[in-house]
Structures are given as structure tokens and as C-alpha cells.
Structure 1
Amino acid sequence: MLAFPWLDRAGRLSGLKLATFLAALAPGLWYAAAYGLDRLGAKPLTAFLHAMGDWTVYFLILSLAVTPLRRVADWPKLILVRRMLGLTALAYALIHLVLYAADQKFDLVRVATEIAVRIYLAIGFVALVGLAVLGATSTDAMIRRLGRTWTRLHRLVYGLAVLALVHYVLQSKIDVSKPVFWSGLFLALMGWRLMHHLTVPTTPLSLLGLAAAAGLATAALEAAWYALATGVPAGLVLAANLDLSAGLRPAWWVFGIAALAAPLNLVRGKPDGRRGSAPAWRPSLAALAPLRAGRTEPVSRTGD
């Protein structure tokens, strides 16, 4: 039976899944239209290529945000879109690679050579291969076939996210504001997982503490990058983070976004000190039950 991405397991229309599906399509369609209308600047193919790489990272980080957000906000149904977000990240990564090949006139020997000799391209390619493996093994049949090995395999998504972010930073070269911002959000999400693993209750106060720690870590990350890559003293970068007259640095944006979890938890959530957290695209035990019973209906919980 053909399962459309906007339907829930019972075959009913899911507003959440439909909205996520449309949001997943929107960036690709917008940039494809802008490219076709020659509205992407002097180097339209390069702009298209970079945008698809950016959105790969965005959707990958969003897929990792599903589990923290559904627990912070006590929103169980959010799990329905986790696999979709992960597969969307993979789709944009593949488009990114195809556009890179197009930028190289589809000279595959040259493409392979560039990937082999340029470290940031090699890192990005490894991340792409890893995402492809996770995507190929996210089906119900592969979950049954791999068993517990599947769970260990899909924990690799955390390392793949690090590789994708490193590729993003290196590709950006001078202005790393956007990759530093997304790296900061990744640190916040991993910080929540550490809290959860250590059974620190998810409360507004603990979430504010996490937001502050993530903001400080983001500022330190930005300072370290500029110190190593350009020789700018780390102290000057840290001072720039405190000078709000020039605009908000990534650290402040990370703090502000992460801090939104506190009032969200206060209004909707409940303290949660349970141990452990699932990797990206990992279904819950409840979702695995039909598979263990030998049934093949789609699993809708997939990703962390």
C-alpha cells in the first residue's frame, strides 16, 4: 500500500505532517524557481549549490530538535515528522552533490579528485554517505532486519551532524556567523540530551541554564575559529559578543532561541528526568511493537 507522507499511520490526513512536507519542499522549489528566473546573482549555480548545502544542515538540526522539543513541550505528536525531516536533509544533501557536479561540468573525474584533495569536500562527502546509509536503513524492513544493530548504527547521526557543521564552517571561509549559529543550536540540543541522560529534570530553570551554557559555548566556538583561522585575538571576538551596538552575534541568537524552551515548558510541559534519548530517525518501543509482531504498517516515529 502506498503511504503518502502527509498521512498518519491510520491513513488519515495529518495537518502536522502536511505542514512539514510543504515546508520541506518550499526551499528547494523557491531556489529552483529563482535559478530558472536568473534571480540568484552573478553566479546563480554557485548560489543554488550553497543554498542546498545550507538547507541540508538546517533540516538535519531540525530533525535532532524533535525529541527535545516534544518532551520540553509535552507534544507527543511531533514525533510523526522526525523521519521526514531526516530524509529531507538527505534529499537536500544529494541535490547539493548533483549541483556541485553540474558546477564542475559533470566531469566526474574532476569531482572525485576535488573531493579527495580538498579536506572540507571530503568531510562533506563522508557526511553525505553516512546520511545515505541512515536513510536507506530507516525503513520498517531494515529496522526488523538489523534489530539492535540498527539502533547503534543510527546513533552515528550525531557524528554526521558534526561533520556537516565542520564542512559548513570550512566552506564559509571568512564569515562563519551562520554555521556558528547552527553549531550553537546543535550544542544546545546535545546539552539537553546530556541533561536527560544524567536525569536532570527538564524544568524552566534548568532550560534557562542550558540556554546560557549554549550561548557561552557558541561565543567560545566563534572566538576559537577566528583565532585559529585568521589570527584575530579571541578576546576581541568575545568582546564583540558583548557589544550589542553592532548587532547580535550568533551566541545571543542561540541563547535567545534556546531560552524560549523555558516558557514553553512552563506553559505546556512537565518535569522529565527519565534516562536516555534516542538517536535520529529512531522509533519508539511502541512504534516497534507492530514490527515485532510481524506486521508491516509504516512506523511514524523515526529520528531524534
Structure 2
Amino acid sequence: MTGRTVRPLPWLDRAGRLSPLKLAVFLACLAPALYLAGAYRLDALGAKPITALIHATGEWTVRFLLASLAVSLLRRIGDWPRVLLVRRMLGVTALAYALAHLALYVVDQNFVLTKVVSEIVLRLYLTIGFVALVGLIALGATSTDAAIRNLGPNWHRLHRLVYTIAVLGLAHYFLQSKIDVSDPVFWTGLFLLLMGWRVMRRFKWPERPWSLLLLAAGAALLTAGLEAAWYGLASGVPASLVLGANLDFSGPIRPAWWVLAVGLSLPVLALLRGPRARASGTARPAPVATRRAPQNVPQNVPLSPRA
């Protein structure tokens, strides 16, 4: 074949060479499914194994979706351009776990599709989750190189829906968790951290260690406020008690502190990146548009100077 590169295996790069990064991420994407399958086979999922699988696949959908959103941040803050190689894989993995989530729910309903449909229509949290799934399917179906070429600028407009899908997925996560929402609060806090960074980029605010430190603190405070608001609205617990629990370290550490811990990695990355960026600043490669691409690389694929 000429003019095209075939990538039959997900751990190969566009030149057909083994990519250690893609291989590691592929194994990480596969690991939860293998673990859950093994736990089910060994009867280690409790009295309601299908329910446990439904919850677990839903949780992994959220995790991989947020991981795909974190790729741009890692590329920028961590000065790691090659991480872009795995963004599509992470997004498709989120879709795969979401489809498994729905399939397991159908199994739990004894394959009575009329009941499944009626439940999705009548229960708000299921409706929200199903809309998010439809959105993920649309993004997954248009994630190929051919779809990118055919849709042109519309591709970017369509894939901006990922932020709305993430909000819907997190809302579904909250509503189905009912009493203990510590996990949804934590993952929503990370989403707020990611969106806060995008706001910084949108308004061209400086990405310095001090500004990223403020971002981490702001995301943690918003997380604590979200948790207090949720418990106040859902169960009538006074917000002051929930906020006060963040200062009580005799029990479980509250989600806001974990969000802060993750957020603090950003200024650390910025500090580590700074010397490298300054060291390489005098030897920047020419813009891609001015260089001639190798003939065996599709023209729509950006070339990395480190490839």
C-alpha cells in the first residue's frame, strides 16, 4: 500500500513500531475488565455480582473519560507531547466500559427490553446516563481518521460535547450513589480541576507554579462546597457539619483533600518542566507547515519533532 499507514494493533504507532506508552496504556485499559471478569468467575463480588459489575463498569467509564480529558493538561503542563498518542484509546475505552455498563443492566433486568426502556424513560438518573451514553457513542463513531477528514471543522464542534457528556456522566454517578457520594465528589472535583485549567487557557492566564497552586486550592474548595451542598440538599445535613468534617482527620480523608493532592502535582510538574523548556527554547524546530512530511505519513497527522 502507498500513501497510507495501517495500524492493526493498538500498541503500535503510525509507523507500525511498538510504542511502549501505547502498550502500557492499552494494558491499563484492559486491566479493570480482566480483574472484574476474574472476580466474577471466583464469586468474589458479593451477594449481587451483576449489580457490583454494573457499578464498577460505570465507575471505570467516568475514570477513563476524565483520563482522556487530562491528556491535554499533561501535554501542556508536563511538556509531554507524545501523550496525545493515547487520547483516542482512552476515549474509546470509556465508551467500551459504558456499553458494558448498559449491557449488564439489561442482564440484570433479565433481558426484558421493554422494562429496560421504561426504566430509562421513567427514572431521571437512568435517562441522564443513557443520554451520556448516546453522546459517547457519537464521539466514538467519529473518532477515526476518516471521520476527522470528512467532518472537517464540524468534528471539533461535535467533540466539544465531551464536556457536556462528562457533566451528565457525573450527575448520573451522583444520583445512583444515593447515600455515600464520596467517590462522585472526588471525581467531580478532578473534573473541576481540569475545567479550571481550561479556563486558564481560554483567557490566556499564566501557567506558572503559583497560578497552578491557586487552581489546586480553588478546585479543592469547590469540591468541599459541592459535597456540603449535596448532603444539605439530599439529606438535610447542615453544610457546616460537612465542611467541618474536612478538618477532622480522625476519620476518612474527605474528597477535597484528595483533589488538592492531585492538584498540587500541577505546580510540581510546572517546576520540573521549566528548566527543560528554557534549555530547549533556543533550539525550537521549525513549524510543521514549513517542513516536508515523509511520504508514508498521512498529511492530516501532525508530526512530533520527538517522533
TM exceeding 0.5: yes
Is 1:123–1:164's contact at 8 Å kept on the other side of the alignment? yes
Distance (whole Å) between structure 1 residues aligned to residue 59 and residue 91 of structure 2:
14
Equivalent residue for 1:231?
236
Aligned pair partner of 2:155 in 145, 150, 155: 150
- Correspondence 1:15 to 2:20: yes
Unaligned runs of 5+ in 1: 273-284
Q: Deviations over 1:148-181 (max 9, x none)?
A: 1111010000000000000001010000000000
Distance (whole Å) between structure 2 residues aligned to residue 203 and residue 264 of structure 1:
10
Please report the TM-score for the alignment, with normalisation by the length of structure 1: 0.89
Is 2:7–2:16's contact at 8 Å kept on the other side of the alignment? no
Equivalent residue for 1:282?
none
Q: Deviations over 1:107-166 (max 9, x none)?
A: 110000100000000000000000000000011111111111111010000000000000
Distance (whole Å) between structure 1 residues aligned to residue 250 and residue 128 of structure 2:
36
- Correspondence 1:133 to 2:133: no
Equivalent residue for 2:35?
30
Aligned counterparts, 1:177-256, within 5 A: 177-256=182-261
Aligned counterparts, 1:151-166, within 5 A: 151-166=156-171
Distance (whole Å) between structure 2 residues aligned to residue 103 and residue 146 of structure 1:
38
Please state how far the C-alpha of 1:268 moved relative to its aligned partner.
2.3
Distance (whole Å) between structure 2 residues aligned to residue 9 and residue 50 of structure 1:
35
Is 1:215–1:251's contact at 8 Å kept on the other side of the alignment? yes
Aligned pair partner of 2:173 in 153, 168, 186: 168
Q: Deviations over 1:51-88 (max 9, x none)?
A: 00000000000100110111111011111110100000
Equivalent residue for 2:280?
none
- What is the DSSP-based 3-state SS (H/G/I as helix, E as strand, rest coil) of the residue aligned with 1:246? coil
Please report the TM-score for the alignment, with normalisation by the length of structure 2: 0.88
Is the alpha carbon distance of 1:208 and 1:81 closer, same or farther for their aligned partners in structure 2, counting shifts above 3 Å?
same
Is the alpha carbon distance of 1:121 and 1:13 closer, same or farther for their aligned partners in structure 2, counting shifts above 3 Å?
same
Is 2:231–2:239's contact at 8 Å kept on the other side of the alignment? yes
Distance (whole Å) between structure 1 residues aligned to residue 19 and residue 271 of structure 2:
27
Is 1:201–1:271's contact at 8 Å kept on the other side of the alignment? no
Structure with greater Cα Rg:
2
Give the length in aligned residue pairs: 287
- What is the DSSP-based 3-state SS (H/G/I as helix, E as strand, rest coil) of the residue aligned with 1:6? coil
Aligned pair partner of 1:92 in 89, 97, 103: 97
- Correspondence 1:76 to 2:108: no
Please state how far the C-alpha of 1:297 moved relative to its aligned partner.
7.9
Is the alpha carbon distance of 1:299 and 1:71 closer, same or farther for their aligned partners in structure 2, counting shifts above 3 Å?
same
For the aligned residue pairs, the C-alpha RMSD in angstroms reads 2.4
Please state how far the C-alpha of 1:32 moved relative to its aligned partner.
0.8
Q: Relative contact order, CA 8 A, sep 6+: which one is greater?
A: 1
Is the alpha carbon distance of 1:240 and 1:25 closer, same or farther for their aligned partners in structure 2, counting shifts above 3 Å?
same
Please state how far the C-alpha of 1:201 moved relative to its aligned partner.
1.5
Moved over 6 A (4+): none
Percent identity of paired positions between Structure 1 and Structure 2:
63
Is 1:184–1:251's contact at 8 Å kept on the other side of the alignment? yes
Aligned pair partner of 1:42 in 13, 35, 47: 47
Please state how far the C-alpha of 1:3 moved relative to its aligned partner.
2.6
Q: Deviations over 1:189-209 (max 9, x none)?
A: 000000011111211111110
